[in-house]
A and B are shown apart, each in its own frame.
Chain A
Amino acid sequence: MNDLIPGARVDGELLYHGQDLYGAGVDPVSVRRWIGMVFQKPNPFPKSIYDNIAWGPRTLGMRKGLDERVERALTQAALWDEVKNRLKRSALALSGGQQQRLCIARALAVEPEVILLDEPASALDPIATSSIEDLIHELKRDYTIVIVTHNMQQAARVADLTAFFSLDVRDDGARTGILVEYDETQKIFTQPGDPRTEGYVTGRFG
């Protein structure tokens, strides 16, 4: 996706099981097979609930036991009980919180190793947010979950490890995203090692 942004440039390596994901010869389809992604705004396909979940497995040729796979993914995403009687109905009729859990179920359906959640609850009300956070708590037993959030309380609540990213602006105006600090969440929110992290988590910006 970074390729879509004009002038975007990536330095260094992003290693996944020792392989650089930005290296030459990496198949994006294969990356998506192992690293699922859920976006800020729930984005179900304009299809039935069932077809949303079945989409990834079908594309990857996982046609055997598809019904069970769909049920398992919806159950893991804590959505099955709410939708099991209307699987053929449009996913767009679900509430925002349900749609987001549907997107999580869709990511789970191909049984990835890692799930990236980009601000998964910022468009949701507190009750839906709470159910997503409880879900993250459940899913972390079986999946590696990476969540991007601007909500520090959310990071504090759900994450075992926290990385604080910020912006470095050079004198000539060039802006670079930098990793300021990465540590156990408990440490970040009780004794951060970097004054910039301390300033950010205590709300003393700039």
Chain B
Amino acid sequence: MSSNLTPQDAEPLPDNPSGRISFGMILRALFRDVIVLMSVIFLIVLIFSATFAEVVAPFDPLLPNIFANRLPPMSYATALDGTENLHMLGTDALGRDILSRLIYGARASIFVALVSVFVSGILGTCLGIIAGYYGGLVEATIMRAVDAFMAVPSLLIALFVLFIIGGGLVNMVLIFALVRWVVYARLARGIALTLKEAPFVEAARAIGASDFRIMYRYILCNMLSPLMVLATLEVALLVLAEAGLSFLGFGLLPPEPSWGLMISRGREYMRDAWWMITFPGLAIFLTTLSFNLLAGWIRAISDPTQRWRWLK
């Protein structure tokens, strides 16, 4: 009996291509799904124009023109310096260009949403994994804190704190990170509890892997897919929250452009100038919808056992 095995002894390598995925494969999968593709294009355009607002926006968003107030979309107005300007989405009550204000307003919305999701996601995931993995007193402490945060409506806390310390970009990011980490902590703890008992984690312990290594390579790496979905949904939620807080006057302060503020100002003119609240409302709606659609797609594509259905 031969003691050595030849490769022919085993079954052949499956030729179903997967292994590591390339950027090109993701692109091809994206092009097959038209709705997600449109959302992605919308988000790219949005982020690009927000980043390069100075170049993209046709006018200064803060420049009023009192003689050209409440102009409907696609109307021309003579500026103070005498040039003829096309206001594609019309102007607001002070004669400021709505398109330019939307582009600058995207900055606030996207910045606040992305940065707060990033900060709260990292904080919540770390605490959740630690709670789930170690259990006992550590878990009890962290999870009771989570329960306490969950028990109070997060927007209410945000309102209260922003009322005391004042609005503004940085304060909003801080407050969102503080109230939203709990959702990641809950999810991460739940998954960590299941994965902790998985045979491959026991195998890792038997190999001699340290606690940190197990938490990072064996637990965190296997929950990235649901975490990414949650984070994407949270971005959508925070865009809404930012708009809401600004609408109520606790977020950005006028005259800074923000979608929520624009709706709040436009509300007074709803009867005779529909465009003043329709376009910022549409911007919020499309952004939220795009992030939601993207979240569903990410879930499908980031699971190594499922992704072959989309990548071919």
Whether both chains belong to one complex is answered with: no
> B interface vs A, CB < 8 Å?
none
> A interface vs B, CB < 8 Å?
none
